[in-house]
Amino acid sequence: EIGTIATDLFAVSGKLARPLVAEPHDRFAFGSAPGDASVIVVNHSPSAIDSISMAVEGPAAADFVVPTGQCAGPLAPEASCAITASFAATAPGVRLADLVLTPVVGGTPGDPLFVELAGQGPAFGAAPTAIGFGDVAVGVTSAARTVIVTNASAAPLALTRTLAGGQ
């Protein structure tokens, strides 16, 4: 961004930029299907970045995987590299976390860039996903087992039938 900053004492004019910028935006949007998404990271600093440390943080961090070794080497000024993340929901509803990218120059960490990770888990869930009844003799009723169904959407959930399977 080109601009001028002025005070009563002095004026500064020029290009203001963070060292790392994610293009085209600071967000991975995965939707509801498991899969991969990529973002391009650009070094807008006048110096090479030695390395970029990466961490996934936030309430649904376990739903997102960022393989190590991406953008591993030095990143020259105005150079770019791609970072890919994978999503697999572990629970229903909106799943959010942040990919924290910290540039390291001369062994010193710089200001981190936060890239939002957003995905949609299934509209409903059930827990537990499997139940055991143990050995039950023919003609004998087992003890009841409870399955909790959770609706993560704003719409009503209608269960029209249940299926049981087993051996």
pLDDT value of position 18:
59
Across all residues in the chain, what is the average pLDDT?
A: 80
pLDDT value of position 63:
93
As a whole number of angstroms, the distance between CA 151 and CA 68 comes to: 35
Give pLDDT tens digits for 94-146. Answer: 899 999 999 998 889 988 989 899 888 877 778 888 888 889 999 999 999 89
Q: Is the pLDDT of residue 11 over 60?
A: no
Higher pLDDT, 43 or 158: 43
pLDDT value of position 64:
92
Percentage with pLDDT > 70 across the chain: 78
**Rounded to two decimals, what is the model's pTM?**
0.66
pLDDT bin (cut points 50, 70, 90) of residue 56 is very high
The CA-atom distances, in angstroms, between 86 and each of 2, 42, 64, 95, 97 are 35, 21, 6, 13, 12
Q: Is the pLDDT of residue 1 over 50?
A: no
